[in-house]
Amino acid sequence: MNWLRILSAGMLTTVQDLGRFGWAHHGVSASGAADPLALRAGNLLVGNAENAAALEMTLVGAEFAFEQDAIIALTGSDFGAGLPLWRPVEIAARQSLRCGASQSGARAYLCIRGGIAAPKSMGSASVHVMTGVGGRPLRKGDVLAVGNDAVRRPRSAANFPQRWQPRTLLRATPGPQAAWFAGELFGADYCVAEESNRMGLRLRGPSIPSPAGQMITEGVALGAVQVPPDGQPIVLFVEHQTTGGYPKPANVISADFWKLGQLRPRDTVRFESVTIEQALDLLREQEEWLYSL
């Protein structure tokens, strides 16, 4: 058996795959990688199925020791590990890998050929940090088994398309209560607040008049922008509540979910309104890029 040891855990390092689906009606949201594009690309690059479990690091990375030879890919943001990103890299047995503070966005992923062999809870290895479903964040001294789930040869390097940047431009389709708003969300600058987490990204900026209090609680989708009575929008994120009673003028598009995972406190974001058709075209473009890896 091949092992990976955590020498230091960084700020928040967790095991993630693409999430736990089919449990929202039991009150459990999907969780999963905050930047699913980086996780999928990293897995494809090392020859895994795209849903293999990998490690998600947040703002300050972790340090790892490898028991045996390994093939890894670092994707997402640059955490100063001194290795090329977005390509498979061979690591020799007993070598260590040290990630530091992020030099770009909020998250980096360490994908390892074979996947992390973490126990699954409700069909997923993803840690739901706020509830403890799926386990807990990693600590110094934890030892993780490397799985045997590679499905093809490692690939060559990927070029992350620069035209998809910047992470701070969020495209959004109309939300269920869009008609209750006058488009105040679009065109204004909003700052990502420190108290943002995997449940939600709290934004600070021009107050939006919220007709809260007229709604019957309803289901909420990933990326929904909800406006509570204080007028400061919250973007619901991977560990979001499954239902909510605040009106939602907009919903971030699937093709921009990766940006939500890369936003860091004090980033200034802007929203741009798009149609569902445009959103699906942008998603197709992203899927084509993944297929090309």
Partner 1 sequence: MTVSAASDRSLLVSFGAAISPEAQRQVTRLTHALDGVRGILNLHPAFVSVLIDFDPRLRTHAEVEALVRRTGSAGGLAAGESKTEPTRLVEIPVVYGGAGGPDLEDVARHAHLSPDEVVALHSSAEYEVAFVGFSTCFPYLSGLPGALATPRLTAPRKHVPAGSVAIGGAQAGVYPLASPGGWRLIGRTPLRLFDPAGEPPALLRMGDRVHFVRVAEAGF
Judged by CB under 8 A, the stretch of 23-31, 49-57, 108-116, 151-159 that binds partner 1 is 23-31
Nearer to partner 1, 161 or 219 (CB): 219
Q: 16 - beta bridge partners?
A: 54
Among 10, 175, 247, 249, indicate the residue that binds partner 1 (CB under 8 A): 175
Out of 15, 234, 238, 253, name the contact with partner 1 by CB under 8 A: 253
34 sits near partner 1 (criterion: CB under 8 A):
no
21 lies in the binding site for partner 1 (CB under 8 A): yes
- Which range in 3-11, 61-69, 150-158, 214-222 contacts partner 1 by CB under 8 A? 214-222
Minimum CB distance to partner 1 smaller for 80 or for 176: 176
Closest contact distance (angstroms) between CB of 254 and partner 1 is 5
Residue choice 272, 283, 289, 293 for contact with partner 1 (CB under 8 A): 283
Indicate which single residue of 12, 71, 89, 133 sits in contact with partner 1 (rule: CB under 8 A): 133
Task: For residue 184, give the nearest of 132, 249, 135, 244 by alpha carbon.
Answer: 249
User: Which bin fits 178, alpha (ψ -120 to 50), beta or left (φ > 0)?
Assistant: alpha
* From candidates 2, 16, 75, 251, binder to partner 1 by CB under 8 A: 251
Answer for the pair 4, 142: CB distance below 8 angstroms, yes or no: no
Tell me whether the omega of the peptide bond preceding residue 233 falls within 30 degrees of 0, making it cis: no
Check binding of 24 to partner 1 (CB under 8 A): yes
CB of 179 to partner 1, least distance (A): 11
Query: Cα–Cα distance between 56 and 110 in angstroms, integer?
Result: 7
Q: Is 23 in the site for partner 1 (CB under 8 A)?
A: yes
Give the residue with the Cβ less far from partner 1, 114 or 134: 134
Q: Which of 252, 262, 23, 7 shows the shortest CA–CA distance to 128? A: 23
Alpha-helical regions (H) of the chain: 36-46, 257-262, 276-291
Span of 6-14, 19-27, 43-51, 101-109 interacting with partner 1 by CB under 8 A: 19-27
H or E element in which residue 185 lies:
none
Strand segments (E) across the chain: 2-8, 13-16, 54-58, 63-66, 70-76, 89-91, 96-98, 107-112, 143-146, 169-174, 190-192, 200-204, 218-219, 224-226, 234-236, 243-244, 250-252, 268-273
Q: How far is CA 220 from CA 115, 181, 224, 247, in A?
A: 31, 18, 7, 10
Nearer residue to partner 1 within complex by CB, 67 or 287:
287
Determine the 3-state secondary structure of 125 from DSSP.
coil
**242 binding partner 1? (CB under 8 A):** yes
What residues make contact with partner 1 under the rule CB under 8 A? Answer: 21-30, 121-122, 130-134, 173-176, 199, 216-224, 241-244, 248, 251-254, 276, 279-280, 283, 287
